[in-house]
């Protein structure tokens, strides 16, 4: 069981760090002041420095920056960029249904799939890596999913989706996070519990 907890904390910490990595510490207020929201929206989608400047200004409550991010969210085609922008909007502005739905969709897919934790445990509660549980193999068989692919989804992809949702720290995501607590994957459950605890701070 100690190994399980160590894996959960390691993965959760890495995912949480990744989710917050886009939040800059020293935005360029001058750049934001000199350009229109439309110009900023275009530039933040194609330039990392512009992205960091606008997001940083948004975290400081700059209305033009928030407007630019809203425009960029509507135009973005890359799902990762679009999700990061949605998180910034939830953290700093009013939550529209479109934004909440976009951020929640990956976690809702996690809930719908409800993948069991993949591995068996020994008598000491340690994970038997590579030794898949009957419950997990049954889940894979019923969905025609290769066990290695299913394990990747359970250990990495699904927890990342839950962490992304939790990073919004917005009341609108609480019901979905509460549903994650009922799942059979301990890592996703741990990430949801951690997100809910952080929202209470």
Per DSSP, helices labelled H in 26-184 are 29-34, 37-44, 48-59, 63-75, 79-92, 97-113, 134-143, 147-152, 158-167, 174-180
Contact 136, 117 (CB under 8 A): yes
Q: What is the pLDDT of residue 95?
A: 79
Please, which pLDDT band fits residue 106 given cuts at 50, 70 and 90? Answer: very high
Say whether pLDDT at 8 is over 90.
no
Tens of pLDDT, residue by residue over 44-101, are 999 998 999 999 999 988 999 999 999 999 999 999 899 999 999 999 977 789 999 9
Tens of pLDDT, residue by residue over 137-190, are 999 999 999 999 999 999 999 999 999 999 999 999 999 999 999 999 999 999
Q: What is the pLDDT of residue 28?
A: 62
Say whether pLDDT at 4 is over 70.
no
| pTM, to two decimals | 0.78
Q: What is the pLDDT of residue 93?
A: 76
The full set of domain ranges for the chain reads 2-199
């Amino acid at each position: 069981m100690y190994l399980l907890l160590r894996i959960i904390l390691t993965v959760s910490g890495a995912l949480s760090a990744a989710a917050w990595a886009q939040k800059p510490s020293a935005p360029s207020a001058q750049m934001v002041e000199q350009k229109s929201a439309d110009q900023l929206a275009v530039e933040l989608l194609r330039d990392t420095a512009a992205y960091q400047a606008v997001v940083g200004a948004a975290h400081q409550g700059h209305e033009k920056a928030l407007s630019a991010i809203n425009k960029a969210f509507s135009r973005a085609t890359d799902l990762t960029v679009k999700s990061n922008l949605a998180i910034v909007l939830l953290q700093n502005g009013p939550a529209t249904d479109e934004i909440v739905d976009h951020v929640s969709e990956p976690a809702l897919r996690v809930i719908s799939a409800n993948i069991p934790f993949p591995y068996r445990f020994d008598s000491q509660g340690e994970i038997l890596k590579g030794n898949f549980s009957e419950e997990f193999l049954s889940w894979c068989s019923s969905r025609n999913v290769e066990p290695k692919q299913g394990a990747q989804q359970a250990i990495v992809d699904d927890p990342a989706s839950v962490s992304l949702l939790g990073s919004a720290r917005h009341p609108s995501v609480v019901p979905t996070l509460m549903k994650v607590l009922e799942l059979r994957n301990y890592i996703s459950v741990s990430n949801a519990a951690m997100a809910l605890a952080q929202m209470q701070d």
